[in-house]
Amino acid sequence: MEVVKARMIQDLKLAGRSPRTQQIYLHATTDFAAFGGVCPSRAGQDEVRVWVQHLLARNLSAQRMRQHFAALKFLYGKTLGRPEVTSFLSWPRDAPRLPVVLSADEVERVLRALREPKYRVFFSLIYATGLRLWEASQLETRDIDAERGVICVRHGKGRQERLVTLGARLLGILRAYWKFTRPPAPWLFATSRGTPVSPEVARNALKRAAAEAGLAKRVTPHVLRHCFATHSLEAGTDLRVVQVLLGHRSIRTTARYAHVSTEVISAAGSPLDRLCVFL
């Protein structure tokens, strides 16, 4: 198994996959090997089908299923040169759902409930910029460009770099945090061991804060990203600007936030308002 993992790491790097994607694929491959008790190089389509049934029984989200399937397709298609083993796999599709969005008051309650300053600043930044959890965890101090008023996102999805807005309020918060904490270089948010802040630990901190704030809604780091997009639209930011800030390739992905913005919906008015109707 170790030989297969080493080859897969090499192939992932040659394919230009991001460190996060490499981590996800290797973790999924390790899970598959542990479940079957056999090295993937000796497994065939029957073993893969049993693994897929096991994943389905766990009621994983469509996104998590796609990650597992993509890892298997890469493993057998690229590293092992046996694409026929996973030829039967199809991509699970998400059921259309409106994103969960908090009100500004609810966001403030959650941020106040974060006891540790590092995580309060970390999630304040995510709400202020719309960054993904992984993108925020990989920020370095050099990425903060105070002169230009932007943050450079170097670890975006699909290895795409982009700029996001660094507002005056956020800059002030980051400077106060830096003066108080001084995280180990080069990271903006780091552990005491000098490694980037753990996304999983950060996610759990936010979950505890949401419970302490008494919110009935499920609050995740991605929900704060939803809040950034929706609240930006409500503040009058153009949809295409929001698209660029979020790093979306398609405007259709961004447009769904207009469906949950109460201010945008109410501002649309009703055709009945133009009629002279008397009851």
User: What are the DSSP calls for 173-220, one per residue?
Assistant: HHHHHHHHH-PSTTBSSB-TTSSBPPHHHHHHHHHHHHHHTT--S---
Active site residues: 132, 157, 222, 225, 248, 257
- 225 token code pair: 């990203």
Q: DSSP string of 50-86? A: HHHHHHHHTT--HHHHHHHHHHHHHIIIIISS-GGGG
69-96 tens-digit pLDDT? 999 999 999 999 999 999 999 988 876 6
Whole-angstrom distance, CA of residue 194 vs CA of residue 181 = 13
**Span 145-171, average pLDDT:** 90
Q: Which residues 6+ apart lie within 8 Å of 153 measured at CB?
A: 131, 135, 139, 143, 161, 162, 163, 164, 247
Phi-psi region of 94 (alpha: psi -120 to 50; beta: other; left: phi over 0): beta
Whole-angstrom distance, CA of residue 189 vs CA of residue 181 = 9
- Mean of the per-residue pLDDT values of the chain: 89
pLDDT at position 198 is 94
For residues 101 and 219, the answer to whether their CB atoms sit within 8 Å is no
pLDDT-based confidence at residue 228 (cuts at 50, 70, 90): very high
Q: Percent of the chain at pLDDT above 70?
A: 91
Min mean pLDDT across 67-81, 202-216, 227-241, 263-277 is at 263-277
For residues 158 and 143, the answer to whether their CB atoms sit within 8 Å is no
pLDDT at position 155 is 86
pLDDT at position 276 is 61
pLDDT-based confidence at residue 268 (cuts at 50, 70, 90): low
pLDDT at position 146 is 94
Residue 112 has pLDDT above 90, yes or no: yes
Ordered domains of the chain (ranges, CATH): 2-86 (1.10.150.130), 104-266 (1.10.443.10)
Min mean pLDDT across 81-85, 179-183, 194-198, 205-209 is at 179-183
